[in-house]
Amino acid sequence: MRFSPARDRAKRAELGFFLLWLRRPGRVGALVPSGRALATSMAARIDVHAPGVVVELGGGTGSITEAILAAGTAPQDLVVVEHEAKLCAVLATRFPHIQVLQGDARDLKNLLEKTGIGPVKTVVSGLPLLSMDDRDCQRIVAGAFSVLPPRGEFLQFTYGPASPVSRQTRSSLGIAGRRSDWILYNLPPATVWRFHRNPAPASIRAA
C-alpha cells in the first residue's frame, strides 16, 4: 500500500472522528465518516457550472467536502458549516482554501449574512437529521431553503428507508423530495435524497 501525507491526514482525521463520536455520539451522529461512493454520489448532484456557492452542513472530517472539490467546485465556492471546534480545525487543515464556519446549522441564514457569503446555489447536508427532533430539523431545512434560489436543491443522505425530512416539515415548507441514489458500499448503506421547492400553482405563476 502507498502512503501519502494526504492519506495519512485523512486516516488520522477518521480516527479523531471516531474518538469524538465516543465522547459525543448525539452531536456527531455517525460512527465513521461517509465512504467515498456516498460522498461522490452527493457531490455529483451539484451543477458545477451554475453560479453561486455550495454550502455543506456538518462537514465532519471532510469526506463529502473532498468529493465536492474533486467533482469540480472551486475551493473559494465552498463553505462548510460545522459546530465541533476540533472538526473545524481538521477541515481547515485539510482544505486550506475553503471557508469553514464554526457554528450551528440551525442558524445558517445568520451565519452566512454575518460573513457576507452568497448567493448560494446548493446546500449539501451530512447532518444526522433523523436523530434530531423535528423542530430542529424543520429549522435547518427552512434555513437552507431561505438561502437557496427558487430552483436550488437541498441534498441529504440518510441510512433509513424513509425520507430524512418528515412529511409535516415537507408540507409546511412547501418542498418535495425524491430518492436519487442508493449506496450499498457505505457503512451503513445510505440513500441520497434531493429536496426542492414545490412549483407554484399555475394560477400564481401566471399572475
Ligand X SMILES: C[S@@+](CC[C@H](N)C(=O)[O-])C[C@H]1O[C@@H](n2cnc3c(N)ncnc32)[C@H](O)[C@@H]1O
In the complex, the residues that contact ligand X under the rule CB under 6 A are: 27-30, 33-34, 58-60, 63-64, 81-84, 87, 104-106, 126-128
C-alpha cell at 60: 465532519
Q: Which is nearer to ligand X, 106 or 121 (CB)?
A: 106
Least distance CB 150 / ligand X (angstroms): 25
Q: Are 48 and 72 in contact (CB under 8 A)?
A: yes
Q: Could you identify the residue written with the cell 453560479?
A: 51
Residue 100's nearest CA partner among 4, 110, 117, 14 is: 117
Q: Which is nearer to ligand X, 160 or 199 (CB)?
A: 160
The span from the CA of 180 to the CA of 49, in Å, is 20
Least distance CB 20 / ligand X (angstroms): 8
90: which DSSP letter? Answer: H
Residue 101's nearest CA partner among 118, 86, 83, 119 is: 83
Q: Which is nearer to ligand X, 105 or 148 (CB)?
A: 105
Least distance CB 55 / ligand X (angstroms): 11
Q: Which is nearer to ligand X, 85 or 202 (CB)?
A: 85
Q: Could you identify the residue written with the cell 464556519?
A: 101
Least distance CB 204 / ligand X (angstroms): 33
The span from the CA of 196 to the CA of 175, in Å, is 5
Least distance CB 36 / ligand X (angstroms): 11
Q: Which is nearer to ligand X, 35 or 149 (CB)?
A: 35
Phi, psi (rounded to 5 degrees) for 105: -60, -20
